[in-house]
Amino acid sequence: MNLSNLNKNQKNAVEKIGLPVLVFAGAGSGKTRVLTYKIAYLINEIGLPPENILAVTFTNKAAQEMKSRVFELVDKDISGINIGTFHSISASILRREIHLLGYSNSFTIYDQQDSRSLVKKVMKNLDLDLKQIEPKSIQIRISNAKNSLQSVDYFKNFTDNFSDKKFYEIYKSYQEELKKCDSLDFDDLLLLPLKLFKEFPDRLEKYRDKFQYVLVDEYQDTNKPQFEFIYSLSHKHKNIFVVGDDDQSIYGWRGADISNILNFREAFGESHIEKLEQNYRSTNNILQAAWSVVSKNTNRSDKKLWTENGSGELINLIESFDDRHEAKQIYSKVLSFKDNLNQVAILYRTNSQSRIIEDRLRVGGIPYQIIGGVKFYDRKEIKDILAYIRFLVNSNDSISFDRVINFPPRGIGNTTVSRINEYYNQSSKSYIEALNNLDEIKLGQKQKSSIKDFLKVISGYQLKINNEKGSEIVKSLISDLKIENYYLKQKTDDAIDRWNNIQEFINGIEEYEINNPSSNLVDYLEEVSLLTDIDKWNDSENKVTLMTVHSSKGLEFDNIIIAGLEDGLFPIIRTFEDDNIEEERRLFYVALTRAKKVVNISYAKSRRQFGGAPTLSNKSRFINEIPKDIINFNLINGENDYKIDKYNINRKFESKTNEQIQVNAIVEHKVFGKGKVLKIEGSGENSKLTIKFYNNVVKKLIFKYANLKLIEG
């Protein structure tokens, strides 16, 4: 096999056989090339059958790219090769084996929205106040527990305080309800294979024999369940090859454990470690900036990227008066790249930052796409149709039942649904069986008639699942339900858009069937459940891409603009409390290394937060960690004619000066509440006030934007 396209270190990694291999692959160092060449080498040179290879990554997009590259390098049929995401590989195992754990092979996969709906339902069943205990926080805590391999029983003994006791009750009921619904959440997809391997050792041996060589992409992002999955399959034969970069470990908040990559040798024993430090993507100035920041971290492997691409442009620093001015300056920057908008990405720390930038781009007629907005499959009208399909294949799915029973409206209210659910919960019947016993449920005749009509439709289509194409079933179902009439009779643009989205959804099913001719509706539901935003990203259209830094990982652009580089925003304020500044540095490192040619870093001196008045901002400490000699400061205050007041014409202030407000005065802010003035800098309407509010939050505010009410002074 010709390996001349690889550099020395890449070639060493590919040819190393007989030991576990860890490849530290820096940003832009060709990790995908190494992975694909390794797979091809195993097939072409070692003679390993494709079906005995397992390669896992984190996005469908990365998996598809890997498959296509391997196909180009191998002359043999590789249709049997196992390349996919952790979740898709786990799902495929469970489809074959989950009956051993008491589930059906047509189980439903709940997305985040469905999972949260189930948490709410469980909490209502437990008579808990959703205002006192937020379902979202409970869902996050359950997910964190699962990612830490903490089962329900783990919390059994932590019930001394009210919060822990209630969490245990909710977590326990949530898992019981999932089981009864014959459903799994995203985290269960990772946990249940471990349960399967533990309780049925013969199945573990089966998959160890099948997956004789295991490869892992983005290994630094693995959490505890993912590590245990990989370890279970590979620690016996030690044929494991992992690629990752600890400097790009940015998902600690969702359970990723950086120690998995840093302690690889401790886990797998004698290993070969290879470092890929030559960068093929970025200029030297970009790499120098990135390294200068990330090298401040102590919990990292020793490596430094280098390139033959030349110095390139300096890092452009953009200073703005406020967030509106920042959006204007970003727009001006984008204009200079208008012929290659698909090579421009605007990155930010939080999704909320996008709105003001979007507004400016929209006004200026700049086309853009957002990664991380409302996903197509999360739209209400699409969730409704998906719920019907899910209920057809799994009539125990309570979340789907709740969603479809009165859509389109058929006169079945919440009271009726509650009575049906109560009967369902007390029986061992499926919803279909429960609905066939309406006489045992206290319902009005009108409601019974509507439910019988609903049941007739569902039962009829359930008979068709195994005999007709999924797309035909869905089209016919939508027609019988008169969903088109439901939307079009509303005669609103929103309703028409929703109907158009449903038609696009049907097109998607038909397209899936063309690409997967032996598939069924269960297969399609799984495909949709495992999609991520980035899987649908398209760089062929001439549009600017807007996304969070987290979403940008794995992508590259000629030109990058990083917005909102202020302490408290990037790095995010909670890192000061959690002492997790190192992950924020890694996140900034990821942002910088998305760029091939040009990096613009931007901050605003003041920014509106929580819908309130502008508060003073300090530029991010990360800016100060970049050497000054590679920063272009020429854009600082580049628009002296900018008038900050023009965006505040309608603001009314208590006074034009701050003469009435002195140090120690008690004031009230409409967002932060009451507080005490600790310090005043300057005079007049542009003076800066340091205020300690009663919740112990200290803010610096510009007087003329603060709209303070003097309480006493």
Catalytic residues: 31-32, 217-218, 248, 594
C-alpha to C-alpha distance for 519 and 379, rounded to whole angstroms = 24
Cα(442)–Cα(639) distance, integer angstroms = 71
Sheet holding 368-371, edge to edge: 368-371, 544-548, 344-348, 557-562, 595-604, 315-320, 631-632
Structure tokens at 691: 């205020």
List helix spans (H) across 341-491: 354-363, 380-393, 398-404, 414-426, 431-435, 445-462, 470-480, 483-488
Tokens of 2: 């010709």
Neighbour-count burial of 82, counting CB atoms closer than 10 A to its CB (0-12 exposed, 13-18 middle, 19+ buried) = middle
b or e along 393-411 (b: 16 or more beta carbons within 10 Å of the residue's beta carbon)?
Answer: bbbbbbbbbbbbbbbeeee
Residues 174, 142 contacting (CB under 8 angstroms): yes
Q: How big is the CA angle at 466 (ends 465 and 469), to the nearest 5 degrees?
A: 70
CA 524 vs. chain centroid, Å, equals 21
- Residue 568 DSSP code: B
Q: State how far the Cα of 24 lies from the Cα of 27, in Å rounded to an integer.
A: 10
For residue 680, give the amino acid letter.
I
Contact 310/279 with Cβ under 8 angstroms? Answer: no
Q: Are strands 557-562 and 606-608 parallel, antiparallel or unpaired?
A: unpaired
- Judged by DSSP in three states, 42 sits in helix
178-207: buried (b, 16+ CB within 10 Å) or exposed (e) per residue? bbebbbbbbbbbbbbbbebbeeeeebbeeb
Give the torsion sign (CA, 116, 119, 125, 127). negative
- Phi, psi at residue 712, to the nearest 5°? -160, 150
Is 191 within 8 Å of 143 (Cβ atoms)?
no
